[in-house]
Amino acid sequence: MVKRKHADRSSGAAVDSKSTPKDEVLPAVRTSDEPAPKKQKWTNKQRVLIFSSRGVSYRARHLMTDLRTLMPHSKAETKMDRKDSLFVVNEIAEMKNCNRCIYFEMKKKQDLYMWVSGVPKGPSVKFLIENVHTMLELKMTGNCLKSSRPLLSFDTTFDKHPYWALLKELFIQTFGTPNHHPKSQPFIDHVFTFSIADNRIWFRNYQILEEDGSLAEIGPRFVMNPIRIFEGSFGGPTLFSNPHYISPNEHRRRLRKKNANKYLDKLQSKRLHAENMRQPSYRLDPTDDVFTTISPEEAAKYEK
């Protein structure tokens, strides 16, 4: 049996009348004169390398994993030996085709430092990380879509000084997910906040609730204490040095000194108490108790 075909008036294409139902609406066919729809290109190709040195603690490792989860434009790398120079990080980032880097290193198994650098020309910043709480550690009600793009919220203090403005631009280029990134989702449902208090930068991650527009914290949370800003990547001339920064070693030394002074003050108070004890106001005659018929214990009671 031969199938009948009729010409589609809109496009001139042949359509099978038997296989196509009468009530079905055929999709519009693009003619040769109409231009093809343009695909949105990924123009801002920012890639961030996130890795650490050997010997980091479990808390620092979980924090690094949380940042990788929240930043779809990040890449991972194996741990680097602590004996290697920091300039090796530039070569590793170049091999990974990354132009930004977040590097964690730990000293004395308790002090966590974080480098945020623009590879390979800089600038770079070294932070002391304090008060770390990971996403798995905190019992928070917030949740967001994985690989979604975040909003970046900055304190107004970032616009008051040049070094804070430099850190703001570095954070935008590092933590901001590029538009139309292949691994990102076209949704914005959480916000990264950077607040300045006590000469430190406080990082928080909140979910944007659709019901009433309020915020619910997701995590992680940590505090960045800036140490130095360098002109180059992981080195170079110093652009800014934090005058309020106190190293962890100096902080622990002051605590030990404070505890030592507390013990010395206790000994001094005991010595002064012994010296200032009440002395008898007159001398007693030992012959006064010759004709006493009561015992010395009872006599002491009467004297009291």
Q: What is the CATH number for 236?
A: 3.40.50.10480
Residue 300 in any domain: the answer is no
| pLDDT confidence tier of residue 30, bands split at 50, 70 and 90 | low
- Cα–Cα–Cα angle for 239, 100, 90, nearest 5°? 80
Residue 167 in any domain: the answer is yes
85: DSSP letter: -
| pLDDT confidence tier of residue 1, bands split at 50, 70 and 90 | very low
Residue 12 has pLDDT above 60, yes or no: no
| pLDDT confidence tier of residue 51, bands split at 50, 70 and 90 | very high
Whether the Cβ atoms of residue 29 and residue 56 lie closer than 8 Å to each other = no
pLDDT higher at 78 or 302? 78
| pLDDT confidence tier of residue 303, bands split at 50, 70 and 90 | low
Whether the Cβ atoms of residue 56 and residue 112 lie closer than 8 Å to each other = yes
Question: CA-to-CA distance for 259 and 132, rounded, in angstroms?
Answer: 26
Residue 259 in any domain: the answer is no
Residue 170 in any domain: the answer is yes
Residue 127 has pLDDT above 80, yes or no: yes
Residue 257 in any domain: the answer is no
Per the structure, the count of domains in the chain is: 1
Residue 146 in any domain: the answer is yes
Residue 268 in any domain: the answer is no
The pTM is what? 0.73
Q: Which residues pair with 298 in a beta bridge?
A: none
pLDDT at 53: 94
| pLDDT confidence tier of residue 26, bands split at 50, 70 and 90 | very low
Query: Of 81, 93, 87, whose CA–CA distance to 174 is shortest?
Result: 93
pLDDT in tens, 233-282: 999 999 999 999 999 999 999 988 888 888 888 888 888 888 777 666 66
Residue 37 in any domain: the answer is no
Whether the Cβ atoms of residue 189 and residue 145 lie closer than 8 Å to each other = yes
Residue 168 has pLDDT above 60, yes or no: yes
Residue 20 has pLDDT above 80, yes or no: no
> Which residues form the domain of 91?
48-245
